[in-house]
Structure 1
Amino acid sequence: MRVVILFGSEMGTAETVADSVADALSAHDVSVYDMSDFAVDDLDVRDFHVIVCSTYGDGDLPTGAEPFFDQLAAAAPDLTGLRFAVFGLGDSVYGDTFNRGGEIAAERLAGRGATQVGEHARHDASTAIRAKDMAREWAATLPLPTLTTA
């Protein structure tokens, strides 16, 4: 099983977090992609997907995630069987729109039949906890099959 990490970022934090998740999951076959460079046609139900998504503006998807989700809406693939987890980034100072980017990503994937698993992580930039540290701890809790050595 391959782990595909897709990040959508505005300022680069989601990319840093995606790299931290990849480091934490290095015992698996892990690939990291910017959502703006990843084709919806490349989603594979045999892979486990990790979505790392920031929130931009008034609770919107970041610019880096928009092409992917526009493509998802246009292609409207059946993603039944695809499993994914979400690590959202936001700032609670924005109130109701806090971490909305990750929530939108999860809603859109689930709307195509994919299944979200694990805890939906919501990092708050207003805390002293570094996003990449929280991401490493969160990644260790993901329900991935363990690898056995022969």
Structure 2
Amino acid sequence: MNAHVVYASITGNNEDIADIISDQLKKHDIDVNETEISQTDAEELLDADICVVCPYTYDEGALPEEGMDFYEDLQDLDLTGKIYGVAGSGDVFYGDDFNKAVDEYGEAFKAASATQGAENVKIDLEPVEEDVETLAAFTDKLVAAAEK
């Protein structure tokens, strides 16, 4: 089984989240490809059993500019049979716009007919020990869903 983890990060927090998820997947003997969103073609997800996106939310709810092509192309794919998860870092300072990109990427996966393997994870700023545990549980659910 294999997974593709895609991240967009300005501060490094989402790259850290992607690294944690990738490490957890490897503990399950999953082959992992981890890439930065601007260097990733959405069609690469067609080769993965598990697809994960770790986006940031910019300013007042905007998606990562460098990931707009990926986001738009993602919605046009047919990811039937693929398991997905979305986890990202944001800042609760932005209130209702906190981690809005996480939900928008979740909707894009649904539009592509992928199956949600775990609830979206929203982390405030950098991941701390408690978040590492949350991401481990997130990853366990993704793997369990893919093994069904």
* TM-score between both structures, scaled by the size of structure 1: 0.81
Deviation at 1:135, TM superposition (A): 4.7
Mapped to 2, the partners of 1:98 and 1:40 lie a distance apart of 25
Structure 1 counterpart of 2:78: 78
Which secondary structure state, in structure 2, belongs to the residue aligned with residue 102 of structure 1? helix
Structure 2 counterpart of 1:52: 54
Deviation at 1:117, TM superposition (A): 1.7
Residue 46 to residue 3, structure 1, CA distance change in 2 (3 Å)? closer
Q: Please say if residues 5 and 31 of structure 1, whose CA atoms lie closer than 8 Å, have aligned partners that are also in contact.
A: yes
Output the amino acid matched with 1:78: D
Q: Please say if residues 91 and 99 of structure 1, whose CA atoms lie closer than 8 Å, have aligned partners that are also in contact.
A: yes
Which secondary structure state, in structure 2, belongs to the residue aligned with residue 85 of structure 1? strand
Mapped to 2, the partners of 1:68 and 1:115 lie a distance apart of 19
Higher normalized helix content (fraction of residues)? 2
Once the two structures are superposed, what CA deviation does each residue of 1:40-65 show, in whole Å capped at 9, x if it has no partner? 22112651112111111111112332
Structure 2 counterpart of 1:32: 34
Aligned-residue RMSD, C-alpha: 2.0
Mapped to 1, the partners of 2:39 and 2:9 lie a distance apart of 12
Mapped to 2, the partners of 1:85 and 1:66 lie a distance apart of 18
Structure 2: gaps (5+ residues): none
Structure 1 counterpart of 2:118: 118
Deviation at 1:134, TM superposition (A): 4.5
Structure 2 counterpart of 1:148: none
Q: Please say if residues 20 and 132 of structure 1, whose CA atoms lie closer than 8 Å, have aligned partners that are also in contact.
A: no
Structure 1: gaps (5+ residues): 146-150
Output the amino acid matched with 1:138: T
Mapped to 2, the partners of 1:25 and 1:46 lie a distance apart of 13
Q: Please say if residues 90 and 123 of structure 1, whose CA atoms lie closer than 8 Å, have aligned partners that are also in contact.
A: yes
* TM-score between both structures, scaled by the size of structure 2: 0.82
Mapped to 1, the partners of 2:85 and 2:14 lie a distance apart of 14
Of all paired residues, the percent bearing the same amino acid is 30
Structure 1 counterpart of 2:12: 12
The number of residue pairs the alignment matches comes to: 139
Mapped to 2, the partners of 1:6 and 1:34 lie a distance apart of 6
Structure 1 residue runs of 4+, over 4 Å off? Answer: none
Deviation at 1:111, TM superposition (A): 1.3
